[in-house]
Structure 1
Amino acid sequence: MAGGTLHSLRMPAKTIALTFDDGPDPEWTPRLLDLLRRRGARATFFTIGAHIAENPGLTRRILREGNEIGSHTYTHIDMATAPAWRNRLELDLTQRALAGAAGVHTRLMRMPYSSGPDGLTDAEWRAARLAGGDGYVVVLTDRDTEDWAMPGTAKIVQSALAAERRGEGAVVMLHDSGGDRTQTLAAVEQIIERLQPQGYRFTTLTEALRMPAAEVPVPAREKAVGWTLVTAQRAASTLTGALGALFGLAGVLYAARLVVLLPFAHVHMRRVRGRRRGRRIRGRPGGADRSGEAPGRQGDGPVCGSPILPGIPGYDELPPDPFPPLSVIVPAYNEEAGIAATVMSLLDTDYPGAVEVIVVDDGSTDRTAEIVQALGLPRVRLVRKGNGGKPSALNAGVALAGTEVLVLVDGDTVFQRDTLRHLVAPLADPRVGAVSGNTKVANRGGILGRWQHIEYVIGFNLDRRMFDVLQCMPTVPGAIGAFRRAALARVGGVPGDTLAEDTDLTMAICRTGLRVVYEEKALAWTEAPSSLRQLWRQRYRWCYGTMQAMWKHRRSVFERGGSGRFGRRCLTYLAVFQVLLPLFAPAVDLFALYGLVFLDPMTPILMWTVFAAAQTAAGAYALWLDGEPIRPLWTLPLQQVVYRQLMYLVVVQSVVTALLGAGLRWHTIRRTGTFADAPGVQPTTPR
């Protein structure tokens, strides 16, 4: 077929056109060329464009030794099922690869997965007509040896010579790539040995059919374009190998992370339940259990931070006051949308001890201070200061607080009535220096809110459970955290030289040897960013600040004791899963997309499906641990496609900012007033 018009041509008598598909192959094509040259035979090679680009020298050798080249598409696609634009693109790319490798185009084309004329389907016929209309001579075969299946040398020879009549010519289909071609090589030699003495000649298709040469020289401009493609393809092949290994490594690491997180979450759940049970027993009069006997020393040991451990000074006595007075410090900068709800929720508590709330207005330009003052609540102190950033506001509040236990709360956060009681309870253990609460997304109505809700529950809280068990908590969130004043004094207060002051402070406390624990029942409802722009700004600051804190505390990796334990466990984990993998994840995702389009799509599809299923199972378990419904999980697949990419790009931008040494100022996100409509009313878990 040529020019869109059907022309049926057959090989002349005693003329064999050996055709080889799927090459050139760096191992088997040279051996076939050596055999053909020894036997004085020539052949036609239907080559894959990507292989041409990877082996330009071998392509030139094929032509230099008198053989000819045809197109076999760029990636060996099924032209019968691919759209017309894809078929044209594949053929065009193959021509450009030929131009770059050998300075020619070809007139010949064979469709992958095709065979003889009688076997053409309607779809294959349409694809062949399309290629013929573009000027290609579409070549089929008389004898398909099916050597790709490696049926044995004798079978290949028999298929090549099947239905042989005296003096008949034929087009014989073989393969010079795609696997071990030892049988093909031996079969070609036997075919030539058998037929040459009978007067058969082995030549190219165009010469046998007296057609114009298959190769057409191209101008310099086409050579330049082709050279660019060949160079890019060779670089991409090298990169593809590296990305393939990285793709596999990333999959293994993510799977390992899930496998590790879930058992740690289960261990944490059991230990926390035991810890609470121990507190309830010790809280009864006389310290007796239901049987009337003194409770046994059944603490969970150093990992869970049991309040009673015999033989250790200070641990045999119960704290004199299980509910000590609290100072709750609320740094506020332009928080008029929700500050009233925050303050009223802090006072509407079942905590038995005294609670004072200190609101530090850090130079707000809105009505934040006026709203707090207008509340007129007796246990609320309002402090105004010039704008100096969140750390300075927190330190100002700490200096004014009159208690030994301090709770730090963001100005957009609402507590439940039992939050303070649960949050302070772990501080009954004098080895605990700080407690992280459980931050919940309040505005989870839209798709962005659901994504952040899933991230908080699956990403943040599962990690915190593991960090608690391993005694290496990196962050007590600014939204909800309890601290001993002594612990803050020991590290010099809230640090102001990083953008993630909560992470910096927590790491500093961990390095002192004090424990930082996670209390899942201490719930705090916070307003998450409601737009992609606000989310980007928030996560950019978080990510960049976390990197700053990791760099600041990097020496802990080489230290001993609690500091070394924290550094080697936590910083290593953060470096791998929050910096390195997200940094390379966009390239890995691009490779997966490349594999879907140009390689075997089943591998990336299978890996993505397995990963998504594992994420969904882990997400369901994490939501169950947090007492949340699993309905939001329907958004998880889309989160992996959209939201995850955004978070990866945040990491990339943060790393670039760090490498360039650029500054990034502290800022707040714009509040929409999630709790403003009903201040003082406690939120309930959305169902």
Structure 2
Amino acid sequence: MSGLADPQDKRVWPHAPVSAWQDPAAVQGESRHPVAAPTPPPGKRADPRGHWFLLAIGMLLAAFALVLNGYVTNVVGETRTVPPTADHPSRQLAEIRRGGPVLNLTGGEASSARLPDRTIALTFDDGPDPAWTPAVLDALKKYGAKATFFTVGSKVAEHPELARRIVAEGHELGNHTYAHADLAAVPGWRLRLELSLTQKALAGATGLHTTLVRPPYSSTPAAITGPQWESMKTLAGEGYLVTLTDLDTKDWSRPGTRKIVTSSLPAGGRGAIVMMHDSGGDRKQTVEAVDLVLKELTGKGYRAVTVTKALGMPSAQQPAGGVERFVGSALNVAQRASGWFTGALSWVLVAAGALTLARLVFFAVLAWVHARRTRGGRRRRGRAPAWPAPPPVTVIVPAYNEEAGIQATVRSLADTAYPGPVEILVIDDGSTDSTAELAAGLGFANVRVIRQPNGGKPAALNTGIAQAGHELLIMVDGDTVFEPATIGRLVRQLSDPTVGAVSGNTKVGNRRGMIGRWQHIEYVIGFNLDRRAFEQLDCMATVPGAIGAFRRSALVALGGVSTDTLAEDTDLTMALCRAGWRVVYEEKALAWTEAPTSLGQLWKQRYRWCYGTMQAMWKHRRAVLDKDPFGRRCLGYLALFQVLLPLLAPVVDLMAIYSTAVGDPLPVVAVWAGFVAVQALTGWYALRLDGERASALWVLPLQQFVYRQLLYLVVIQSLATAVLGVRLRWHTVRREGTFGTPPALVSPPPAPGART
């Protein structure tokens, strides 16, 4: 044990330099070892709050983007055409059905108009479309023809440059609603909204408004239904000139170029409004037909003009006001952004889902490999050599105000079945209760209680390391109890000289309540199963403070337990791995710990864990450049699965709620059930490996509500705290004294003389 401090030296090791992450006094402690933090500077809150407002704003913006995109794509507010029914038309409607395609309903009496002879107005609905509208415009330009485009507002917002080209080339714009809604099937407010949004989109794209409108799903005057007639009267009340058609080519059904041409040609030299489409699918036949129709009609002396030009009316396009242009531009940008956001989010969610499933399956396979290779004491790199004789061990118990459970902890250590010498050091870190008296009062000869002023858990551990009389150290929290065989099982892994630390298997002792059951599932699946995989990958991130074994010489070489972070166990483990030591997992070394019993206490614990882990990741960020792959594997995994994916979780929940509310909930439920099923299967295997009952899985579906949200909100809180540079105070977790009476053991202690 050369190079170690004198075991009789009572001095406490000096603290390591404190990083810029924390105030020196603020890092010297742990949830049960708080140290009074200095008053933060004015304007620096000890616990940030403003980010919750920003999160709420972000969620509202995300919800707005989803709703806007859903509205544009007819997911939200979807309309279906009203099927035709037998009606009894009024005299006025009967006259309109026999009239022309342009309806003026703004006066007291309805009137209609037809185009003069040898005049044709080609009209195109549902655009603009980036693939087909330019082709149509090119065909029109070839013959010097002008046309009227009844545009869908959402597509104008998506492709404003096409709307500008239409205007620049002398064509006319009309209103075809914003989301191609059937105006006969929507209430009055939706009808007016559809028209208004389209006008704003046009104003933002071209600086113009239009007085022409064509209702979607309309055709010739003779086909007007009663509901359509009522909606047209509302359109007239808004100041629009309703434009139907004489010749409906039905090109949307792609009947063939020749049929489209035939249905586009008026008979007997009469004038006509022709309805075609420049969007909504493959419009190759339409583009070909436009060229043929114009070629034939030009030879017959027809002129192809806009609707208003054909009727000798002023242009339907009027300049929009400055406010309308600004609002329209904002709407167009918002729509494009919502489309981009929704598309990106869909890909991100697919990637996140695939990564999560892949992680579960991959880690389950690695755990299976670990279980096979460690059966009978074998490790991944061969069988660890046996100790020639049980080596002496020092157990260090840092304790601050642990009177509720300290006796159960010390008793479980003193009653160990380990055959070698065991020294137990209880480091009372300035407790204000009777922790020290209760520990000393047990009267065990191998238990020594050392008192020191409150300096925090790292300081208490460093005191224990300095006072330890042996090379092999075991660290255990003051609220944790060991099983009799645990020390022996930890120590046997240290017989391999390449192993610098051993992680034990932490169990939740107070698992009767729902919160306790949730944590029990998390410990088995999220912690213990992962540690099997981490050992296989040589990237163990944390030896838990509740149960871990170390070489004292390795800790001395590192300068002791660092005070740089709030997660001293993660920081220490990463440092050991970077120093070249192997860190392994001993699944049979069981320790029972007391988990938080309320959501508030759980929040405090996980807040410290998460923030401390981020500190450790930042401190060891240069590990990604090391030759050893530990840094890339460990930090990459933590950054992806412990930081990035939890940040996406609120949006995942929001999208699930949105999809359930506006669409068929079955796909959402099916995806959710699929994830839960995979988790349950993985959980069943993890419980089986740990010798636990699979009946605990009944709480797994419920874990997706409240508990899961709390965990990802903790990540958001921790990240905000780190980014804002706010000092995090130590959070005290209340102890309930779960192990006042030692828990029932899950495995019997070995027989005297048995190898452990």
The reply to whether residue 465 of structure 1 matches residue 570 of structure 2 is no
Shift of 1:380: 4.1
Q: How does 1:20-59 map to 2 (within 5 A)?
A: 20-39=124-143, 41-59=145-163
Contact 1:345/1:682 (CA < 8 Å) preserved in 2?
A: no
Shift of 1:478: 1.1
Question: Could you say which residue in structure 2 is the equivalent of 1:185?
Answer: 287
Shift in alpha-carbon separation, 1:114–1:406, aligned structure 2, 3 A: farther
Question: Could you say which residue in structure 2 is the equivalent of 1:675?
Answer: 738
Shift of 1:621: 3.4
Question: Could you say which residue in structure 2 is the equivalent of 1:488?
Answer: 555
Amino acid at match of 2:609: W
Contact 1:63/1:69 (CA < 8 Å) preserved in 2?
A: no
TM-superposition CA deviations, 1:398-456 (whole Å, max 9, x none): 33333433221223334445444433332333332221122233445555545444433
Question: Could you say which residue in structure 1 is the equivalent of 2:203?
Answer: 99
TM-superposition CA deviations, 1:600-652 (whole Å, max 9, x none): 99999987776555445434433443344555656656655765555444444
Shift in alpha-carbon separation, 1:555–1:102, aligned structure 2, 3 A: closer
Of residues 369, 382, 399 in structure 1, which corresponds to 2:449?
A: 382
The reply to whether residue 572 of structure 1 matches residue 677 of structure 2 is no
Shift of 1:270: 0.8
Amino acid at match of 2:686: A
Q: Secondary structure at the match of 1:270?
A: helix
TM-superposition CA deviations, 1:236-261 (whole Å, max 9, x none): 55555655554454444434433432
The reply to whether residue 319 of structure 1 matches residue 387 of structure 2 is yes
Moved more, 53-62 or 346-355: 346-355
Shift in alpha-carbon separation, 1:646–1:133, aligned structure 2, 3 A: farther
Moved more, 129-138 or 434-443: 129-138
Question: Could you say which residue in structure 2 is the equivalent of 1:625?
Answer: 689
Q: Secondary structure at the match of 2:371?
A: helix
- What CA distance in whole angstroms lies between the structure 1 residues aligned with 2:547 and 2:637? 23
Of residues 390, 402, 406 in structure 1, which corresponds to 2:473?
A: 406
Contact 1:525/1:683 (CA < 8 Å) preserved in 2?
A: no
TM-superposition CA deviations, 1:554-601 (whole Å, max 9, x none): 4443444xxx13223323333333344445665677788888899999
- What CA distance in whole angstroms lies between the structure 1 residues aligned with 2:641 and 2:491? 31
Question: Could you say which residue in structure 1 is the equivalent of 2:322?
Answer: 220
Shift in alpha-carbon separation, 1:132–1:675, aligned structure 2, 3 A: farther
Moved more, 8-17 or 208-217: 208-217
Of residues 346, 370, 384 in structure 2, which corresponds to 1:307?
A: 384
- What CA distance in whole angstroms lies between the structure 2 residues aligned with 1:358 and 1:149? 85
Question: Could you say which residue in structure 1 is the equivalent of 2:492?
Answer: 425
Question: Could you say which residue in structure 2 is the equivalent of 1:535?
Answer: 602
Amino acid at match of 1:225: V
Moved more, 448-457 or 400-409: 448-457
Contact 1:107/1:135 (CA < 8 Å) preserved in 2?
A: no
Shift in alpha-carbon separation, 1:306–1:228, aligned structure 2, 3 A: same
Question: Could you say which residue in structure 2 is the equivalent of 1:546?
Answer: 613
Contact 2:172/2:317 (CA < 8 Å) preserved in 1?
A: no
Of residues 542, 551, 575 in structure 2, which corresponds to 1:475?
A: 542
Count how many residue pairs are aligned between Structure 1 and Structure 2: 638
Q: List alignment gaps of at least 5 residues for structure 1.
A: 280-298, 309-317
Q: Secondary structure at the match of 2:506?
A: strand
Q: Relative contact order, CA 8 A, sep 6+: which one is greater? A: 2
Amino acid at match of 2:172: N
Contact 2:175/2:195 (CA < 8 Å) preserved in 1?
A: no
Shift of 1:151: 5.5
Shift of 1:392: 0.8
Shift in alpha-carbon separation, 1:669–1:194, aligned structure 2, 3 A: farther
Question: Could you say which residue in structure 2 is the equivalent of 1:73?
Answer: 178
Contact 1:344/1:679 (CA < 8 Å) preserved in 2?
A: no
Shift in alpha-carbon separation, 1:679–1:358, aligned structure 2, 3 A: farther
Q: Secondary structure at the match of 2:629?
A: helix
Question: Could you say which residue in structure 2 is the equivalent of 1:284?
Answer: none
Question: Could you say which residue in structure 1 is the equivalent of 2:371?
Answer: 269
Shift in alpha-carbon separation, 1:569–1:129, aligned structure 2, 3 A: same
Moved more, 247-256 or 6-15: 6-15
Contact 1:69/1:106 (CA < 8 Å) preserved in 2?
A: yes
TM-superposition CA deviations, 1:311-349 (whole Å, max 9, x none): xxxxxxx31224x44433222233344444444444454
- What CA distance in whole angstroms lies between the structure 1 residues aligned with 2:666 and 2:147? 34
Q: Secondary structure at the match of 1:428?
A: coil
- What CA distance in whole angstroms lies between the structure 2 residues aligned with 1:469 and 1:183? 61
Shift of 1:516: 1.1
TM-superposition CA deviations, 1:154-187 (whole Å, max 9, x none): 45446767xx876788776544335543222112
Amino acid at match of 1:458: I
Contact 1:68/1:204 (CA < 8 Å) preserved in 2?
A: no
Shift in alpha-carbon separation, 1:192–1:527, aligned structure 2, 3 A: farther
Structure number with bigger Rg? 2
Q: List alignment gaps of at least 5 residues for structure 2.
A: 1-80, 82-89, 102-113, 748-756
The reply to whether residue 439 of structure 1 matches residue 506 of structure 2 is yes
Shift of 1:54: 3.0
- What CA distance in whole angstroms lies between the structure 2 residues aligned with 1:409 and 1:538? 17
TM-superposition CA deviations, 1:36-85 (whole Å, max 9, x none): 344455544443434322322322333452312324434x6788999998
TM-score by length of 2: 0.70
Amino acid at match of 1:99: A
Shift of 1:32: 1.8
Amino acid at match of 1:512: A
Shift of 1:382: 3.1
Contact 1:246/1:588 (CA < 8 Å) preserved in 2?
A: no
Of residues 332, 338, 343 in structure 1, which corresponds to 2:399?
A: 332
Shift in alpha-carbon separation, 1:650–1:20, aligned structure 2, 3 A: farther
- What CA distance in whole angstroms lies between the structure 2 residues aligned with 1:92 and 1:646? 42
TM-superposition CA deviations, 1:328-380 (whole Å, max 9, x none): 32222333444444444444544444545433232234454455456555554
Amino acid at match of 1:229: L
Question: Could you say which residue in structure 1 is the equivalent of 2:588?
Answer: 521
TM-superposition CA deviations, 1:374-398 (whole Å, max 9, x none): 6555554433322211111112223
- What CA distance in whole angstroms lies between the structure 1 residues aligned with 2:486 and 2:367? 21
Of residues 357, 360, 367 in structure 1, which corresponds to 2:427?
A: 360
- What CA distance in whole angstroms lies between the structure 1 residues aligned with 2:389 and 2:124? 87
Moved more, 617-626 or 167-176: 167-176
Amino acid at match of 1:260: F
Shift of 1:30: 2.6
- CA-based RMSD of the aligned residues comes to 4.7
Shift in alpha-carbon separation, 1:210–1:615, aligned structure 2, 3 A: farther
Shift in alpha-carbon separation, 1:339–1:130, aligned structure 2, 3 A: farther
Shift in alpha-carbon separation, 1:416–1:37, aligned structure 2, 3 A: same
TM-score by length of 1: 0.76
TM-superposition CA deviations, 1:5-33 (whole Å, max 9, x none): 99656523777665544432234223323
Shift in alpha-carbon separation, 1:151–1:570, aligned structure 2, 3 A: farther
Contact 1:21/1:72 (CA < 8 Å) preserved in 2?
A: no
TM-superposition CA deviations, 1:457-481 (whole Å, max 9, x none): 3332332111111222111011221
- What CA distance in whole angstroms lies between the structure 1 residues aligned with 2:669 and 2:303? 48
